[in-house]
Amino acid sequence: MRPRQSSFWKVFATPTVIALFSAGGLFAALLGDGVWDALSWLGLGIPAVLALRGLLQCR
């Protein structure tokens, strides 16, 4: 008999990646100006875009 595969990563992979983008964006915002600002906008913008996309797909 094969062991049953865990569905842990199937469930939590996407939220973990979104959380890492958010944390990276917040950390980049604290580090400095210039390129760090662009990285923070990117890191915080991706979760916002994904959330809006998810909300609009439900309708």
Whole-structure pTM value: 0.79
pLDDT band at 3; cut points 50, 70, 90: low
What's the pLDDT at 8? 86
- Other beta carbons less than 10 A from residue 59's beta carbon: 4
Residue 54 has which token pair?
A: 């998810």
Which residue carries 């973990």 as its tokens?
Answer: 16
User: Which band of pLDDT confidence, cut at 50, 70 and 90, is reported for residue 24?
Assistant: very high
